[in-house]
Amino acid sequence: MNNRYGYVRVAAAVPRVHIADAQRNAEGALKIMEDAFKEGVEVVVMPELSLVGYTCGDMVLQNKLLSDAERALAWLMQQTEEIPTIGIVGLPVVFADRLYNCAAIFGQGVLWGIVPKSYIPNYGEFSELRWWVSGYSIKERMIRFAGQEAPFGSDLLFDIHGVEFGVEICEDMWVPVPPSSMQAVQGAKLLFNLSASPESVCKHDYLISLIAEQSSRTMSAYVYASSGHGESSSDLVFAGNAVIAELGRVLGVSERFVRNDRMVIADIDVEYISTRRTARNTFYYPEAPEMRVVEIEVDEILYQGDVRRHIEPLYFVPEDEAARDIHCREVFAIQSAGLAQRLEHTGCKNVVMGISGGLDSTLALLAVCDTYDLLGLDRKGIIGVTMPGFGTSDRTYQNALIMMRELGCTLREISIKDACEQHFKDIGLNAEERSVAYENSQARERTQILMDVANMCGGMVVGTGDMSELALGWATYNGDQMSMYGINSSVPKTLVRYMVEWYAKNRAEGALQRSLLDVVDTPVSPELLPTNEDDTIAQKTEDLVGPYDLHDFFLYCTLRRRYAPAKIAMLAGLAFEDVYDKATIIKWLKVFFRRFFSQQFKRSAMPDGPKVGAVGLSPRGDLHMPSDAQERAWLQEVTDMEQELDALL
């Protein structure tokens, strides 16, 4: 186990099976075990009845085959005495003169336990009652098998280096309440399934969805291995499925219909599984049966930094284009539904919003337009106010005008320059110093204008700030931090950009489309400092607070996954290895924690807004955080692990 970061490496393997030849199958299993150990795998599961073949039929009633299977397991355990990888293989076992379809769990020469199949199918091609007896009621029993005494029954969990796992067999997963569900509520974070499920048209996709769903419902990792090459084709064909899923997400799937051994490997984030369960106080079942926990004592397999799973750099943005399309549609729908409810409740027919020509106000404007269409309201009720200031560039100014005209909104232009200059004189501010007061007074002037215009028309001010800015506190208190409804308040900056681009490509054309795409390409800026001599933007947000792709990564890992700083830094190094070096990641991670902790007071006073994803910052819902929480321990961990990160990356 990667103790530093909470991963367990597992594998689902599909070796070639030789029908009724237990010794050859054991030799194949040995090769799998050796390969798994070389890859740092801690537990590897093989298919149902993998030591004899699932399609043996009446041959499993032959004493010769039964004794061969027992001897083959004993030989396999002897050959793996020096291998700390835990193996799970399938074989027939006779207990109290009854025949059971079983999984044997072994490692470093020890038989740690045998789990019988609980549910024996008797329909269609699955007519197994001819041979097998259900092991569902076998509890608290021991068995003498393969020269060793071991726990036997359906009440077994196994603990390897502090992580518990459970085992079920094929049909057990397909029943209304699978054994793995009970195993999970009793503590198993890893669930292994030995299967022999024949292939049929369209079955594969359903199987994958079933495995993913079971891993989601049980808040676990589900590791599935099913028979393939070598099984009899008398009536059925076996494709050899190896699948690993974690918390509803598929981490790996083997190629099917391959005529050689294959193995799917993944690192399971058991720390995250535990965190998710802890946060979900409904993860229990009072009537769950008590289970025996077998503590497996094998050498620990240590690995550092070599994480066998894909690390998404943009957690908030689906990587698949089709999924991203659905994602954008749903976020717009959620935003519109939330604002529509608020408008109906308050009786407001007018919405007032500041339109800067930047990403956030553009997304907010598009969502408000959708809301008006949903309610059947005239878009003229959307009062878009552009408020040029000292740092407004012609590029953003023109984009703001074009968008409002093309979308059919009411356009108002109110310059803040004169008002701000008078305010500077009133408070005795030297405008040449370009101080924080110089910048924030502009943001507050704009908010005052919006609020007063809303009062004049009986309207509602819709805020445009996004979740990433709220996380960093990159908003002026009682300035752009305040509104009557924050429509973007749970949309992160990385997703804002994709949503505006999606709208441009899917729902806009002509001048509107060109303007939206230019907004996407414009540097993120509050435009509070004067522009350069060539009228380009001088104040670029990401130069000041850091790249938003990194900050959104940090935000997701901190709030959704609740990772410690060291793990966040390590994963960021892997996710952005071709983009940012270690020093850059560490620098901005420190900035993230400093700002995230110190700026909570702004989030404590944030207005209502619709939650659209798994992460939110609302003090009324997702983030109950004191404004005086200290960041020192988080920053110290980042500092302490800088040298370690050098070695990892």
Total number of domains constituting the chain? 2
Domain shared by 285 and 345, yes or no: no
- Same domain, yes or no, for 283 and 393? no
The sign of the dihedral angle between the CA atoms of 32, 34, 35, 36 is positive
Cite the active site residues: 48, 117, 170
Please check whether residues 33 and 144 belong to one and the same domain: yes
Does residue 312 form part of some domain? no
For residue 1, what pLDDT is reported? 46
Q: Are residues 372 and 505 in the same domain?
A: yes
Question: Do 347 and 452 belong to one domain?
Answer: yes
**242 assigned to some structural domain:** yes
pLDDT class of 369 with cuts at 50, 70, 90: very high
Domain span at 261? 8-296
| Model confidence pLDDT, tens digit, residues 170-193 | 999 999 999 999 999 999 999 999
Does residue 304 belong to any structural domain of this protein? no
Residues 586-604, mean pLDDT to the nearest whole number: 96
Same domain, 290 and 325: no
pLDDT digits (tens, 9 = 90+) for 523-566: 888 777 888 878 787 778 888 999 999 999 999 999 999 999 99
Q: Are 9 and 56 in contact (CB under 8 A)?
A: no
Both tokens assigned to 335: 């935003």
Residue 457 within a domain: yes
In a domain, 266, yes or no: yes
Q: Rounded to two decimals, what is the model's pTM? A: 0.92
- CA torsion 585-590-592-597 (nearest 10°) is 160
* Residue 357 shares a structural domain with residue 424: yes
Question: What are the tens digits of pLDDT across the range 199-222?
Answer: 888 888 999 999 999 999 999 999
**Is residue 139 predicted with pLDDT exceeding 80?**
yes
Which is nearest to 482 in space by CA: 361, 385, 607, 368? 607
Q: What is the CATH number of the domain that holds 508?
A: 3.40.50.620
Give yes or no: residues 465 and 604 share one domain: yes
Q: How far apart are the C-alpha atoms of 392 and 446, rounded to whole Å?
A: 13
Residues 288 and 332 in one domain: no
Going by pLDDT thresholds of 50, 70 and 90, the confidence category of residue 8 is very high
Residue 525 maps to a domain: yes
Question: Sign of the CA dihedral 570, 575, 578, 580?
Answer: negative
Q: Are 635 and 590 in contact (CB under 8 A)?
A: yes
Shared domain for 335 and 275, answered yes or no, is no
Q: Are residues 579 and 636 in the same domain?
A: yes
**2 inside domain:** no
Residue 64 inside a domain? The answer is yes
Report the CATH number that the domain containing residue 252 is assigned in CATH: 3.60.110.10
Element (H, E) at 78: helix 63-79
Distance CA 65, CA 47 (A): 18
Residue identified by tokens 């997963």 is: 173
Q: What is the C-alpha to C-alpha distance for residues 389 and 434, in angstroms, rounded to an integer?
A: 14
pLDDT tens digits, one per residue of 37-85: 999 999 999 999 999 999 998 999 999 999 999 999 999 999 999 999 9
- Residue 635 confidence (pLDDT): 93
Q: Take residue 100 and report the two structure tokens written for it.
A: 């059971």
